[in-house]
Structure 1
């Protein structure tokens, strides 16, 4: 008897959802029997169910009332498909119902998947689940037995007609009312920090250990920053604390959080606001408005620990006055959006110490926010945006105001549905006029909605937000332009409509973020994006991909794999037309052209309140911001790029100073940093005369857990240009001198720093380099050679990061470079078409765990190098593998990706030797796809 069997688990390689969707698209009929169906899982199967209906493929679904876990709403939705019959097994106390079986019929065989997964989002995508798939001929005994069992269950189950569903729904509502949730005794000492909070607390401890007095934590709204601060306070144990924020409702919640986490410390807590004047307590929670009137009533060093929530407001005059008055031992700032205001830079305010930064993808991974189900839907044909400039809002508005489009949006909205009983939806529009039109049209069609924009008073906004959040109020939609991009918190929002062309990944992420706040009554957010044919559609892919550093190839792979790298239950689905449209645009676009870079820059400038972003750190403010290194690569320094695109005379004059310009280029050439030691040393020397190895070690340990002294010495030697070749020495300014174990500044560099305008820009490069390093490498120590798995590197980096003591630029050329027993294999998977090699290289992945590599033509097995390669483990030789798909993309040399060390396990032939290498780290699925899928 022929059986095909496989185990399906949810991992970064596969999940049950993918298998079900494939099977539904290929089968001639299907039969499901699952204990639970809830809407979070069903929504992910709506499109395959619809396709089955269109193809005339029939299905049967049995579910149950077991544990009252099935949604009545999910049953109602299934009933909308006339190709699916639905029955419900009604359970009682004696008989439970716990099947999880998915059966697909083909021409002469069946596929049966039996295991642990119900139809819920987590069971289909992210839970630890085991499901066994068996494919067998229709006459196999196993298949006959499965079908017989299914049919007997079918006979035994009740038809899910309208009366049945209404009764069941009424029953569920009655339980909800009567069973007040079980109260569980909870010892407050057992509330433990999540991963994000732990990392933040560790980093705050390390900064304080090195006498730093301020730090900033950047994390998305709803990720638990207040709890994190309370955990840190619990550890620090200040006798007096001041917590400042600008809104009273945030303050009350913060005070409650601290009271919960610090119940037995004998502390008193009080509010200092317009309504409360509790000043004589240990921990004061104050609004800035009230505090700024009475702060001098407190002693300057009254508070040991000061916390500023929503810290991006702290650059305003009222905050600065208060902060300049107090002298606490430690100040913590917390913000979701560290955007810069006219009055300054929030990073500077906290001494450029970022203890933690959590962006959207990390928040999803750590389950700090709820998952979202994104559906990219091709807009109706009659809306043509192909010839409109993305900034021509009036014309875009005119073309979007189409009644037929409103009907189409409503049709899709009703099809995909939403989580929970009441729809609470934000619709993001292109302009005020567009938002007013949408609200009017929806109201005409019987949907209760309002339009909100910048002219509405805070009071009006608050009133409408409260109405939307109220389950008993009929308001379901707020159409808006961009007042909800940031800073407005509506936790129970369960739907977002993207009704305008996306012209910025930043705005897209901010709008998406409005619905991701955790809330007791929702388990996911539904996002419907109506994708038109304007020429910037591919920006959606940039936003969803979650990586600030991308190239054409990685974007295309993300699209064709349905953004498989997105964590948890989040689901991203684009229809075929949108996918093809975006892929075509990506193919046409040159991401390194001046035209593209200028568009990216000016779009970012617009979000910067129209101010020229003179500083690199401006790009650290927003999730989805452009990567300014691309601007540096174009013009050798960021200021040169800005001067060019802005035609900025003031900047051009500044750059006339040859020493200043050369200094900017020299420092910029090290970005992005691959190790942080050099920039930490430079940062110290900006305000000090000299530095020795011990002092440098101290400074470096503020950022990372460990560092070896030889690497610090190598960093000193690098800063002294010991490893530059003669051409580099001629063309680059010498900024540092190493004498008798101490590093000092050259006269040239001192003169540059004496000019405060110049110094500001030098500091910016150093600060940006360090911040970005912290973001990408965290606080880990990577040893020597200093490589991080799956990070990008160029050949010359291997010399620098393995403390090579000769000219680093000589580290080029053949695919194998060596520093002692460290062997670096640089591998192109696709050779340049035009290079006629005398040999066809066979470098390729055999699997996620094995790689086949060929040595250069001249290598024999008997040579020293040959022996070191084929017996690397016995000879103590480390083989480091660096791989890239293409040597060049869009005319620019591509970096290699470090996939870790490997060991030779088989070899054959010589001149070249073909070696099979077992990798020490299995390549993650998303990266493996990137290397191996052809688009």
Structure 2
């Protein structure tokens, strides 16, 4: 039942509320602000609730300083009410809801009324009253959302009340300045996860780690929090620029106030400080002033520079109890590997899209604009001079300026960074903008660091008239300009890696920036679809996901960010997605060469992680059996490797998406040792996982020994180990492969990539047995491995229902148009946690699997749900997505039985849309 509530001459909102208070079993209130004028009118009702022992929760905020101290203090007097304040400085708090519990139902009012006298009687207010049963999805969703907000808020205390009261006394004009309650500095979600992992790493004997965090997510604070946990007496914080040291020291002092701080730079030598902030250049020349064990904790900021000579000199000299590397961009320009320096101990790997998901960076408004001035049809995008000439036309400059004016920007002054094709293009754009009285400058590779810093300072200065910096690629990585509010992408996007780097340049949060405006001028070149993939990131299940996102204006993008493409651009991308075969060698080769060109060096497997790219090298391996064979094929290089080595690297590379770290940790150890026993293996695995059971280690030993291989697998792969009395020994063929330096390096690269990929996707969490992570992709071979199945794994496929002990696995295809088998089954999602599924044709309700499935809880059967949208895409078999456990709530008929199943955890909105919406 639904009813619209308004204030009128015959009735009002106040009367409705008091009636509900007088008869409810419990209540929940969620309003932006509370005035005493409104609260006073409810006092009698609240007193009656207290006398009847009816409990309530009240959630409000200090939004625009409208909530009154007097009202808060009065509410505190009620013993039956929990009162919390939501921090409205981080996100606007506008909700108004009144929820009342009754015997069989909830009466829920959602609308416009806060707790004020005028809202109760005289204002024009619209509120919708809904009577909903306790088990209805609407009721459950409202209660769930309220609980989320209530958990995030903080309880009222004297400290808060005093702070707020003093603020109101000294700020009589409420709306001009909003109250901010200064709580104790707390770790954010990224830092909490990383701190837990760091404690776990040290617990398992590790003395170094690396934290990879998107710019602006708080990696300096992370190091300060961990040093506080570590209780370090002497600390060295290293960076390559003095301005980084100054801001880092400021951050540290907010977390740890009890230590003495000092600088060790070209200008200062405060050597006796407990916490010393030093430039790498200065300290590398003065190492003898310090003992090797002088510091018990060292932080290497911008850790991707650690392979440079000066960093290496310092790193090799000091012997601290713990070292932490911090970086936003772990990519390197030389042949050395940053992850390897820190022994692949990853405290956190949180990139741009993860940071957006967690609301750790600034929101952005992206506008994909059809670049109608330029026709790329016959242009080679690698011919940079020709491309620059094509883009350097007055008509296009006018068009760009028109769009800049139309879309505008956050705050008064425009602070824009514009990415151009080359130096000539940047200089041309700068000259033309200045002619049009938009004050601009260029920053190029040849400009000095001091020139860059001066230009950046002027751009961010409200009193400077500089509005735009034109550049080529010097700002792609490692540099952020916090106050930037506009990014112009003036070149065709041919690399998702470069696109993501450019997107991230202005996403650091600042107090006076609400959002970043991004204008991307999309031409009709044949790689525009890369933009859509880059924006969607790991939410892209397949090309259908991208089409859905385009048609839905990327509604799943989190953090108040918006993505809008005009119809011409959108249709271009959709057309390209339809025409492209993403499994063809031609496409894979193009992807590889574009990536290689964007990073300007040889491409190692680890580079696909260190650079934020959407490319999955597993596709290269699937095409050519191993990564090295794919590279040889692309570069048309003669294959001089022995069959023995190729069968070895094929075995290793075939497990890149293993979903279990055990095998990689074991083989990595065996590169430098002749054998490994169970306990040593456990120690090695615990470097990457918080817990491991002996049963899984023994299964890994047997798997590596090829105990579960069929004849085709045995023929395909070299045997790299021999198992004897629960000890694995390096096989003779593997030894021979490792004797050749180049072959050993290729093997090391693959093993390290497997480990780092695992850490990035799974972190250090232990998921139990079977070892499944929600919403991860799996094939049937993965599942056999993660169940410790003790028979040939290739037998664990080919059916929609499989079982192992008390674990039942349901494999569901939703592709009814292309799958002949799935036509026979009624596989449909009704809600975000209920769906239908049909058993095998011969299943009955009174015996066997059918009986166990319809009453799974009674028989202690765990039903694991795996779903895929399509069996194949571009002729490539698709993996299943794990949706967790489900229970049967309804069944009809038999041979087959029609089941209705309910997931234990509701689907995220983006997945529910994937499974139910059509493109």
Partner of 1:868: 852
Aligned pair partner of 1:776 in 752, 756, 761:
761
The alpha-carbon deviation at position 672 of structure 1 amounts to 0.9
CA contact (8 A) 1:270 1:285 kept: yes
Equivalent in the alignment of 1:629: 618
**Hey, what's the Cα distance between the residues in 1 that align with 2:174 and 2:854?**
72
Once the two structures are TM-superposed, the CA of residue 604 in structure 1 deviates from its matched residue by 1.1
Match of 1:309 in 2: 301
1:790 CA displacement: 1.0
Structure 2 partner of 1:226:
220
1:376 paired with 2:368, answer yes
The aligned residue for residue 62 of structure 1 is: none
For the pair 1:639 / 2:631, whether they are aligned, the reply is no
Q: Does 2:812 align with 1:822?
A: no
Partner in structure 2 of residue 339 of structure 1: 331
What residue is the counterpart of 1:30 in the other structure?
Answer: none
Match of 1:904 in 2: 888
Q: Does 1:256 align with 2:258?
A: no
Distance between the aligned counterparts of 1:185 and 1:869, measured in 2?
53
Rounded Cα–Cα distance in structure 1 between residues aligned with 2:748 and 2:110: 62
Using structure 1 for the length normalisation, give the TM-score.
0.79
Residue aligning to 2:725? 740
Q: Which position in structure 2 is the counterpart of 1:703?
A: 688
C-alpha spacing 1:520/1:2, structure 2 compared with 1 (3 Å): closer
Task: Give 1:882's match in structure 2, choosing from 866, 869, 882.
Answer: 866
Post-superposition Cα deviations, 1:243-274, rounded to whole Å, max 9, x if no partner, equal 2111011112222222332212xx33221111
What corresponds to 1:560 in structure 2?
551
- The answer to whether structure 1 residue 271 and structure 2 residue 263 are counterparts is yes
Deviation at 1:121, TM superposition (A): 11
Query: How many angstroms does 1:318 deviate by?
Result: 1.6
**1:546 alignment partner, SS class:** helix
1:678-707 Cα offsets, whole Å, 9 max, x none, are 222222222233322233223222322222
Q: How many Å separate the matches in 1 of 2:807 and 2:125? A: 62
User: In 2, Cα distance between the equivalents of 1:513 and 1:289?
Assistant: 28
Instruction: Deviation per CA, 1:407-433: give whole Å up to 9, x if none.
Output: 222222222211111111111122222
CA distance in 1, matches of 2:517, 2:820: 50
Listed one character per residue, the Cα deviations across residues 93-116 of structure 1 (whole Å, up to 9, x for unaligned) are 9xxxxxxxxxxxxxxxxxxxxxxx
- CA–CA distance in structure 2, aligned partners of residues 263 and 306 of structure 1: 18
Q: Cα deviations across residues 823-863 of structure 1 (Å, max 9, x unaligned)?
A: 111111124648488x7321121221111111222323334
Number of the residue aligned with 2:605: 616
Task: State the distance in 1 between where 2:366 and 2:236 align.
Answer: 41
Q: CA, structure 1 residues 129+672, in 2 after alignment: closer, same or farther (shift >3 Å)?
A: farther
Whether 2:747 is the aligned partner of 1:762: answer yes
Q: Matches of residues 424-573 of structure 1 in structure 2 within 5 Å?
A: 424-547=415-538, 550-573=541-564
Aligned in 2, Cα 1:480/1:919: closer, same or farther, shift over 3 Å? same
1:841 and 2:825 matched: yes
Change (3 A) 1:744 1:832: farther
1:416 matched to 2:407? The reply is: yes
Q: Deviations over 1:866-901 (max 9, x none)?
A: 212222221111221111111111010011111112
Cα distance in 1 for partners of 2:515, 2:620 equals 38
Give the stretch that moved more between structures: 746-755 or 371-380.
746-755
d(CA) in 2 for partners of 1:122 and 1:376? Answer: 26
The SS at the match of 1:323 is helix
How far residue 148 of structure 1 moved from its aligned partner, in angstroms, is: 7.9
Map 1:28-427 → 2, pairs under 5 A: 190-264=184-258, 267-342=259-334, 344-380=336-372, 382-427=373-418
SS at match of 1:500: coil
Shift of 1:744: 2.0
3-state DSSP class of the match of 1:616? coil
Return the alpha-carbon distance in structure 1 between the equivalents of residues 260 and 64 of structure 2.
Answer: 44
**1:437 & 1:122 partners in 2: Cα distance?**
41
**Partner residue in 2 for 1:42:** none
| 1:834 to 1:572, Cα distance in 2 relative to 1, 3 A | closer
Contact 1:3 1:134 in 2 (8 A): no
Contact 1:549–1:627 under 8 Å retained in 2: no
Tell me, yes or no, if the aligned pair for 1:798 and 1:824 is still in contact at 8 Å: no
Give yes or no for contact 2:777–2:879 (8 Å, CA) kept in 1.
yes
Contact 1:310 1:335 in 2 (8 A): yes
Matched residue of 1:333: which SS? strand
User: Does the CA-based 8 Å contact 1:316-1:343 persist in structure 2?
Assistant: no
1:645 deviates by 0.8
Unpaired runs of 5+ residues, structure 2, are 6-31, 34-61, 69-85, 99-107, 112-120, 127-170
| Counterpart residue number, 2:589 | 598
Q: How far did residue 750 of structure 1 move?
A: 2.2
Equivalent residue number for residue 148 of structure 2: none
For the pair 1:931 / 2:915, whether they are aligned, the reply is yes
Matching residue of 1:25: none
Are 2:653 and 1:668 equivalent residues in the alignment?
Answer: yes
Q: Which moved more, 1:330-339 or 1:435-444?
A: 435-444
Which secondary structure state, in structure 2, belongs to the residue aligned with residue 525 of structure 1?
strand
- The Cα shift of 1:179 comes to 12
Cα distance in 1 for partners of 2:286, 2:174 equals 49
Return the match for 2:796 from 811, 816, 825.
811
Shift of 1:460: 2.1
Shift, 1:517, TM fit: 1.1
Question: Any conservation in 2 of the 1:243–1:307 contact (CA below 8 Å)?
Answer: yes
CA distance in 1, matches of 2:852, 2:424: 71
How big is the shift at 1:183? 10
**Deviation (angstroms), 1:667:** 0.9
SS at match of 1:785: coil
Q: Using the alignment, how far apart are the partners of 2:631 and 2:207 within structure 1? A: 34
User: Which runs of no fewer than 5 residues in structure 1 stay unpaired?
Assistant: 6-34, 37-66, 71-90, 94-116, 136-144, 151-174
Question: C-alpha offsets along residues 544-582 of structure 1, whole Å, 9 cap, x if unaligned?
Answer: 112286421122122222222221211111222222211
Q: Distance in 2 between matches of 1:327 and 1:678?
A: 31
> Shift of the alpha carbon at 1:322?
2.0
Distance apart, 1:296 and its partner CA: 2.0
Partners of 1:753 and 1:176 in 2: how far apart? 76
SS in 2 for 1:303: coil
SS in 2 for 1:851: strand
Cα gap change, 1:673 to 1:868, in 2 (>3 Å) = same
Could you say which residue in structure 2 is the equivalent of 1:682?
Answer: 667
Tell me the TM-score normalized by structure 2.
0.81
Asked whether the 8 Å contact 1:484–1:514 carries over to 2, the reply is yes
C-alpha distance in 1 between matches for 2:251 and 2:297: 17
- When residues 314 and 832 of structure 1 are mapped into structure 2, their CA distance, relative to the original with a 3 A threshold, is same
In structure 2, distance between residues paired with 1:148 and 1:531: 46
The structural deviation recorded for 1:130 is 5.9
1:74-108 deviation digits (Å, cap 9, x = unpaired) = xxxxxxxxxxxxxxxxx9x9xxxxxxxxxxxxxxx
- Whole-angstrom distance in 2 between the partners of 1:147 and 1:419: 33
Residue 315 of structure 1 and its aligned partner are, at CA, apart by 0.7
| 1:547 alignment partner, SS class | helix
Deviates further, 906-915 or 401-410: 401-410
1:549 and 1:932, CA in 2 relative to 1: closer, same or farther beyond 3 A?
closer
Compare 252-261 and 491-500 and name the one that shifted more.
252-261
2:606 is paired with a residue whose SS is helix
- The residue that corresponds to 2:137 in the other structure is none
CA contact (8 A) 1:352 1:767 kept: yes
- Aligned CA distance change for structure 1 residues 134 and 378 (closer, same or farther; 3 Å): farther
Q: How many residues align?
A: 791
Conserved 8 A contact 1:697-1:712:
yes
| CA distances 1:456-513 after superposition (whole Å, capped 9, x unpaired) | 2222222211111111011111112111112223111111111111111111111111
Q: Partners in 2 of 1:494 and 1:788 — Cα distance?
A: 38
In the aligned structure 1, how far is the partner of 2:505 from the partner of 2:389? Answer: 27
